[in-house]
Structure 1
Amino acid sequence: MAVKRLLIDGRLVETGRTFSSLNPATGEVLGEAPDATVADAEAAVEAARRAFDTTRWATDREFRVKCLNQLYQALNKHKEDLRELTIAEVGAPRVSTHGAGLDEPIELVRYYADLVAGLPETEELGEIEVRGQRHRRWVEKLPAGVVTAITAYNYPTQLALAKLAPALAAGCTVVLKGAPDTPLITLALGELIASDTEIPPGVVNVLTSSEIAVGEVLTTHPGVDMVTFTGSTPTGRKIMAAASETVKKVFLELGGKSAMIVLDDADFGLAAMVASFTICSHSGQGCAITSRMLVPRAHHDAIVEQVAAMLGQVRYGDPSDADNYMGPLISERQRDKVDAMVKRAVEAGATLVTGGEKVDPGYYYKPTLLSNVDPSSEVAQEEVFGPVLAVIPFDDDDDAVRIANDSIYGLSGGVYGADQERALSVARRIRTGTIGVNGGAWFAPDAPFGGFKQSGIGREMGVAGLEEFQERKTLAVVVA
């Protein structure tokens, strides 16, 4: 695979050094990515600053819509190439690329092009009388400015476009930094922007780097107005602290430890199936995945037996094979982390029902079920980011709510029960940004996504996702 290039100030550029991207299904080198330096990061920020301050991008909404539609067409034109790259670099099973792995993120671009084209740019507040004069007041929605967008490895196209599309629609300019584990797919987006759209030089800049210092530039540079980051909560805390030095606007989409609550009147077989296939979705590498299954204490053993049977039916292996539902973890480092957490959970008293094994070659880990998990234990409190489901017993509805909310996270969750009103009542008490009842699907371009507590600040997607990249200016004139 040819070495891809950075996009800086409208030019596709190579650097004097590269780093390898590995295929997680084999552990072999897939390709080389340019290893951006601090100087490259500074050049990208300066280009974005210049494009925002001196071009028509921030003020010409019609032109922005045109360019977003060009990007949408380009993504669809090259979709199959992007699909194969996503499978090879991310380890995403083919089936997932027809959803959140690729196809659904592409639709975000069209959604925001259509949304911004139809939204009013001003909000009238009406007139007031002050000292005998009438004053007309209104609010104008303006772009936040230069945005640095830093993404994680698990869904690189979704995470990039969920930031890029609304930021561009709002009139911002962007420096996008891809995750070191999945640089090639992010660089491919930059190449499409450069070759297939009229987006002006500097409006979008795309970097990949193995240097921590590059991320530090992007979060502290005085030319940056806003930082948006998706990744772990510990890293999010550091970014928030770094951005505070220049009081940047910060938008964080961080970790989760979401709970699926199975009430005593639920269809246990259905809940077991959903829990099993959800935890194996992209090998558990999803921040909103329900990795805690809360079950009635009296039915704990029966439900665990059903979940174990379902996990045994999950096909895993080569992600390019359409028959496989689960692929590998992203790296040996991540697999070692998952395996170590499982071992510590067993040492702490949890029961290993099935799984808990590495599978070679590649970075595969068997679907894993832990039962009788203490809700205060590490595996119940910390994000594993692997195919590991922790089953926790509860006594009644109040106990289930207490356990679900006993977390620093508050991203997502689910409730299952035959009495929908009761299930909804429980769901409303869970402090999370999204939640599904009896399998209700909330994920869509128009639905705001984000979390409470240490799961983040702000919302992606929907109108709220656009507003994150806007500032409001209140104006007034004397009319009489």
Structure 2
Amino acid sequence: MTTPPQPQILRPASYVYGQWHAPKDGQTLLDAVYGRPVAVISSKGVDFAQALAYGREAGAQLRKLTFHTRARMLKALANYLMERKEDYYALNALTGATRRDGWVDIEGGIGTLFSYSSMARRELPDERFLPDGKVEVLGKAGTFVARHLLVPREGVAVQINAYNFPVWGMLEKLAPAFIAGMPSLVKPAPQTVYLAERVVRDIIASGILPEGSLQLVTGDPGDLLDHLLEQDMVAFTGSAATANKLKVHPNIVARSIPFNAEADSLNASVLGLSVQPEDPEFTLFVKEVAREITGKAGQKCTAIRRPLVPRNMVDAVVDALRKELSKVTIGDPSRDDVRMGALVSVEQRQRVQETLEKLGQEADIVIGGGVIGGQSDLLGGDREKGAFLDPTVLLCRDPLTARGPHELEAFGPVATLMPYDSLDDAIKLAKMGRGSLAASVVTFDRHEATELVLGIASTHGRVLVLNRTDAKESTGHGSPLPQLLHGGPGRAGGGAEMAGIAGVKHHMNKVAVQADPTTLAAITREHIPGAEVQEDTVHPFRKSFDQIQVGDSLLTHRRTVTEADIVNFAALTGDHFYAHVDDIGAKEGIFGKRVAHGYFLISAAAGQFVSPAPGPVLANYGLENLRFVEPVGIGDTIRTRLTCKRKIRKDLRPGETRPTGVVEWHAEIRNQDEVLVATYDILTLVERGRDEFDGPAEDAEGGEQRAEGEGAKA
């Protein structure tokens, strides 16, 4: 079999303080498949203090943009990168990864940008800050209130990434930092930096992100950490040993710089005691373990390292795994008939083999070559110069007394089977990993699933319950999602990446603001009960989205509740609850009299404040935070105050031609004594004028949704 031509030697450059710094000489990287020189990297000449200062200065412009503006930029960038994905796949094979591996990394990373763009526009206000939590009333008269706000940190998010996911690992950190308003300085691992650099080169060329939002260091980080300041932060992905060294860097400790670590962990997958070989869950377990062993050649921080199986099922599991793994073809990942490529480097293979030898002191190899057995034939690639290693499964027969399998991670296509006798033993074994990113429980028995999940939850960042019901839609044991936590306690680093909007909040500072209601409303741009309001002769429902202002208010006419109101409402709805229609029962109840239906009150209030003619208000979008505070009886008189609480601009979606926004109104219903009887928030869909963000509704939104559902898995 002929070796493909020598690829052009790449020279990945650093991008700092608005300039590209290409190395003339430096460290030579070899491709993982044939062991040929593929790239030369160096950070010689980079001034790390200047790079951090440049990022902090650029951050001032980034912070002036709103969440929604930054989110739209992120969506545009995702579309731009998706159009160039084939360029990334071409480099992906040099790292030893198959196209399927690359799909998880490349399209998964781009999908994360789509996801964060959508989440930000859906869950965050179109502001530069985020009100957090409810308003706290600090004085009896209501003139002294407080609320927490989240604002961007005024530093640089330094992001140190691992080699196994050069695209996803970078973009899953960049996305929440950018949405929060923090510029990023990315330091990829050297082994696959040429792929990360190719993506960054396109990001810079696109001109979509404000200058300074993203900087890249392709070589040694030098004295980077020495120049961090209090407003900066560090996010690290890699080995637990390296994380432990970095987090105690003297400057990081002295300045209390936030340090988020996502470290490799000895993740477990538990096959339930109730599962039999003929059950669908047995097949699901075997396939999931095999997929985690071979995906990225086992180089995943979430990979299953410790499959836990009932002792009486060990032989069946070994036989089934051997059959499944025998189907795996190994070789040049650029070939369509290859299912597993190489490790990232010969050095990495050597480290895995050394760990295998140590594991062999307490476990036996039962499947695969590893250090001892034979080796499969390669479909392309070089067995000696490349970094190939066959899938290997060990069996530790007494895992409760063993130490190595719970402490040593062979970061490659290796897993150690561990038998257990009871659910308590399975829980104990899972916890012996001292904290993990992910675990999975494979069972159709809901009681068993409950016991296992709650038993291991305290030492894991994520737990998947896999069974015949969710298997078709499940993203799998090892697939972090942008909406969910990607982190874990203990050995896993104690950090928290992604987790939806929580990942954005991680890059922001929380401050408690105390003021009078009107001042606090002006600061937060959200109406607060007790704040001054604006009333004019124009009904608020006759105003467009652009004309409505926070604090616009309407105080309605009064209405006296009659017995006929209550009887008619009961007849209309079929709600004949005794407190409304049974005079004797109501007198013996908690109210001591018949009272109006709560839903009658909000219906009557709508009749008070709605402007019935067609106009800018298109629809009722929803109702939130409803509370019935005091009963309203026959003869009581109510009126309602409706006040604009906040405004949310909506982007045009495919097929839409009328620009709209959502106006959130705060409603308060009071009785004749000015006592609050009900309070709630109403969302109305209101027509707005076109603005600079309203282009033609392209099909990209559909692509965005597909990427969220499929590509945002890594």
Q: How does 1:183-198 map to 2 (within 5 A)?
A: 183-198=193-208
Indicate the SS of the match to 2:462.
Answer: coil
Quote the RMSD (CA, aligned, Å): 2.2
Indicate the SS of the match to 2:30.
Answer: strand
**How many angstroms apart in 2 are the aligned matches of 1:37 and 1:181?**
17
| Larger relative contact order (Cα-Cα within 8 Å, sequence gap ≥ 6) | 1
Partner of 1:433: 461
- Contact kept, 8 Å, 2:35 with 2:385, in 1: the verdict is yes
- Contact kept, 8 Å, 1:408 with 1:453, in 2: the verdict is yes
Q: How does 1:447-462 map to 2 (within 5 A)?
A: 447-461=484-498, 462=500
**Among 381, 384, 389, which residue is 1:365 paired with?**
389
Indicate the SS of the match to 1:165.
Answer: helix
- Contact kept, 8 Å, 1:351 with 1:373, in 2: the verdict is no
**How many angstroms apart in 2 are the aligned matches of 1:434 and 1:38?**
42
**How many angstroms apart in 2 are the aligned matches of 1:351 and 1:82?**
37
Matched, 1:76 2:86: no
Matched, 1:272 2:272: no
Partner of 1:158: 168
**How many angstroms apart in 1 are the aligned matches of 2:291 and 2:11?**
36
Partner of 1:403: 429
TM-score scaled by length of structure 1? 0.92
- Contact kept, 8 Å, 1:351 with 1:372, in 2: the verdict is no
Give the letter for the 1:301 counterpart: D
**Structure 2 stretches of 5 or more lacking a match?**
1-7, 376-382, 518-529, 531-714
Partner of 1:419: 445
**How many angstroms apart in 2 are the aligned matches of 1:426 and 1:278?**
21
Q: How does 1:241-256 map to 2 (within 5 A)?
A: 241-242=248-249, 243-256=252-265
1:108-150 deviation digits (Å, cap 9, x = unpaired): 1122222223313223632524386612322222112311000
**How many angstroms apart in 1 are the aligned matches of 2:97 and 2:112?**
19
- Contact kept, 8 Å, 1:220 with 1:246, in 2: the verdict is no
- Contact kept, 8 Å, 1:57 with 1:63, in 2: the verdict is no
**How many angstroms apart in 2 are the aligned matches of 1:473 and 1:332?**
50
Identity %: 26
1:332-361 deviation digits (Å, cap 9, x = unpaired): 111111112222222335344432157434
- Contact kept, 8 Å, 1:38 with 1:217, in 2: the verdict is no
TM-score scaled by length of structure 2? 0.63
Closer, same or farther in 2 for the Cα pair 1:220/1:355, shift >3 Å?
farther
Closer, same or farther in 2 for the Cα pair 1:429/1:219, shift >3 Å?
farther
Matched, 1:238 2:276: no
Closer, same or farther in 2 for the Cα pair 1:66/1:263, shift >3 Å?
closer
**How many angstroms apart in 1 are the aligned matches of 2:296 and 2:99?**
10
User: What is the count of residue pairs matched by the alignment?
Assistant: 472
Partner of 1:229: 236
Give the letter for the 1:419 counterpart: D
- Contact kept, 8 Å, 2:161 with 2:170, in 1: the verdict is yes
**Structure 1 stretches of 5 or more lacking a match?**
none
**How many angstroms apart in 2 are the aligned matches of 1:387 and 1:124?**
45
Partner of 2:614: none
Larger deviation, residues 36-45 vs 307-316 = 36-45
Give the letter for the 2:494 counterpart: I
- Contact kept, 8 Å, 2:12 with 2:23, in 1: the verdict is no
Give the letter for the 2:384 counterpart: D
**How many angstroms apart in 2 are the aligned matches of 1:7 and 1:419?**
53
Deviation at 1:234, TM superposition (A): 0.8
Which one has a larger percent helix, Structure 1 or Structure 2? 1
Give the letter for the 2:102 counterpart: T
1:200-222 deviation digits (Å, cap 9, x = unpaired): 3322110111x3x52x5236523
Partner of 2:21: 13
**How many angstroms apart in 1 are the aligned matches of 2:199 and 2:440?**
34
1:223-247 deviation digits (Å, cap 9, x = unpaired): 7610001001111111211121211
Partner of 1:379: 405
Deviation at 1:102, TM superposition (A): 1.0
**How many angstroms apart in 2 are the aligned matches of 1:410 and 1:197?**
39
**Among 51, 54, 63, which residue is 1:58 paired with?**
63
- Contact kept, 8 Å, 2:230 with 2:257, in 1: the verdict is no
Give the letter for the 2:446 counterpart: Q
